[in-house]
């Protein structure tokens, strides 16, 4: 008997299965009242990062085969590649969800935030205090208000700033509930290498595009680094580097006043033509067309 194929949901699929998103720009979405989503009770996997805060009722589910129960004020971290199954909830269940693509995470998270996320991966369910949940809901309500009154907005940058503050305060609150000795746990070499590599990607503002340079700094071979990355994330080291590079490029193209030539120089491309080809390969558009297609400057 062939194993059942697990349904995978990409960020781009979400608007097709759920039409009541509070905010969605293709890379980040906020939602609530998700019980009407088709297929929620079936086994599935999400190809993005998600954080769930239970505001009413109870939710139970299996995450990578481990059963968790979330009551009111509990939060759940779902990383890309995690398998979700046996989802059940009470009739009065409700929650708030914030989800984002992996590549936008590189632009949002600095070294300290990424360390927090890595710690949370081992502790996906946290019981939060009411005042902490209240703060998160204030951000959520502000975001919904901004979407309902877009004529008052100065552009998508303000929305991103709200979401960035939401993420910082959320992770700050969660850290209070985690064991401070968690980072001293004994890790296998592959785990340590992967963590160090991911931290290096967030630290490099001018992202190096060479797998060998990262491998040399980590004192491992490029082949070993690639195998470690694939084991932990389903991505090769080269793909993760490209994700980090493109996250930085998109950030500069959409949220800075730098010219295309200046963006290329900032990232470390000496050849403007090569930079244009690199961007088109990964985004399907030239840098200038990408800016225009995404309402740059509005």
Asked if 171 and 200 sit in the same domain, the reply is no
> Which pair of tokens denotes residue 175?
């850290």
Q: What is the C-alpha separation between 215 and 217, in angstroms, rounded? A: 5
Tell me whether residue 1 is in a domain: no
Asked if 92 and 153 sit in the same domain, the reply is yes
> Of 142, 177, 212, at which residue does a domain stop?
177
Tell me whether residue 298 is in a domain: no
Asked if 156 and 193 sit in the same domain, the reply is no
Which of 46-55, 156-165, 230-239 has the highest mean predicted lDDT (pLDDT)?
Answer: 46-55
Mean pLDDT of 123-150: 86
**Residue 216 in 3-state DSSP?**
helix
Tell me whether residue 116 is in a domain: yes
Which range of residues forms the domain containing residue 87? 7-177
Mean pLDDT of 247-257: 83
Give residue 172's pLDDT. 80
> Of 155, 177, 199, at which residue does a domain stop?
177
Give the pLDDT confidence of 231-251 residue by residue, as tens digits: 877 788 898 888 888 888 888
- CA angle at residue 34 from 18 to 71, to 5 degrees? 160
Number of domains in the chain: 2
- CATH number, domain containing residue 171: 2.60.120.10
> Of 177, 201, 232, at which residue does a domain stop?
177
Asked if 166 and 202 sit in the same domain, the reply is no
Give residue 1's pLDDT. 42
Asked if 228 and 90 sit in the same domain, the reply is no
Asked if 69 and 119 sit in the same domain, the reply is yes
| Three-state DSSP string of 141-196 | HHHHHHHHCHHHCCCHHHHHHHHHHHHHHHHHHHHHHCCCCHHHCCCCHHHHHHHH
Asked if 118 and 241 sit in the same domain, the reply is no
Asked if 52 and 151 sit in the same domain, the reply is yes
Tell me whether residue 2 is in a domain: no
Q: Among 67-76, 101-110, 241-250, 252-261, which stretch is predicted with the lowest mean pLDDT?
A: 101-110
Model confidence, pTM = 0.67
Q: Among 115-119, 121-125, 177-181, 218-222, which stretch is predicted with the lowest mean pLDDT?
A: 177-181
Asked if 64 and 98 sit in the same domain, the reply is yes
Mean pLDDT of 50-58: 91
Asked if 220 and 133 sit in the same domain, the reply is no
Nearest to 8, CA basis, from 86, 62, 82, 99: 82
- Cα 201 to chain center, whole Å? 14
Asked if 170 and 277 sit in the same domain, the reply is no
- Give 62's contacts (C-beta < 8 A, 6+ positions apart): 68, 83, 84, 85, 86
- CATH number, domain containing residue 241: 1.10.10.60
Give the pLDDT confidence of 131-143 residue by residue, as tens digits: 999 999 999 888 8
Asked if 80 and 102 sit in the same domain, the reply is yes
Give residue 95's pLDDT. 92
């Amino acid at each position: 008997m062939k194993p059942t194929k697990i349904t995978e949901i990409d960020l781009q699929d979400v608007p097709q299965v759920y039409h009541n998103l509070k905010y969605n720009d293709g890379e980040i979405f906020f939602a609530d009242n998700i019980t009407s989503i088709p297929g929620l009770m079936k086994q599935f996997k999400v190809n993005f990062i998600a954080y769930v805060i239970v505001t009413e009722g109870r939710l139970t589910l299996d995450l990578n085969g481990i059963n968790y129960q979330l009551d009111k004020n509990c939060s759940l971290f779902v990383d890309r590649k995690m398998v979700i199954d046996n989802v059940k909830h009470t009739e009065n269940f409700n929650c708030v969800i914030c989800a984002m693509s992996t590549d936008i995470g590189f632009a949002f998270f600095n070294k300290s935030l990424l360390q927090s996320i890595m710690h949370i991966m081992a502790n996906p369910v946290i019981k939060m205090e009411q005042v902490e949940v209240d703060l998160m809901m204030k951000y959520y309500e502000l975001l919904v208000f901004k979407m309902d009154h877009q004529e008052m907005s100065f552009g998508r940058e303000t929305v991103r700033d709200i979401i960035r503050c939401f993420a910082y305060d959320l992770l700050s609150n969660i850290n209070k509930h985690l064991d401070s000795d968690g980072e001293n746990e004994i890790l296998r070499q592959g785990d340590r290498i992967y963590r160090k590599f991911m931290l290096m990607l967030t630290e490099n503002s001018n992202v190096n595009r060479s797998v060998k340079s990262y491998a040399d700094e980590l004192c491992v071979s490029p082949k070993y680094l690639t195998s470690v990355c694939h084991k932990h994330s389903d991505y090769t080291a080269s793909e993760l580097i490209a994700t980090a590079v493109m996250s930085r490029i998109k950030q500069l193209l959409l949220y800075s006043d730098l010219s295309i030539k200046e963006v290329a120089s900032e990232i470390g491309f000496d050849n403007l033509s090569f930079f244009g080809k690199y961007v088109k390969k990964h985004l399907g558009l030239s840098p200038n067309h990408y800016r225009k297609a995404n309402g740059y400057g509005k």
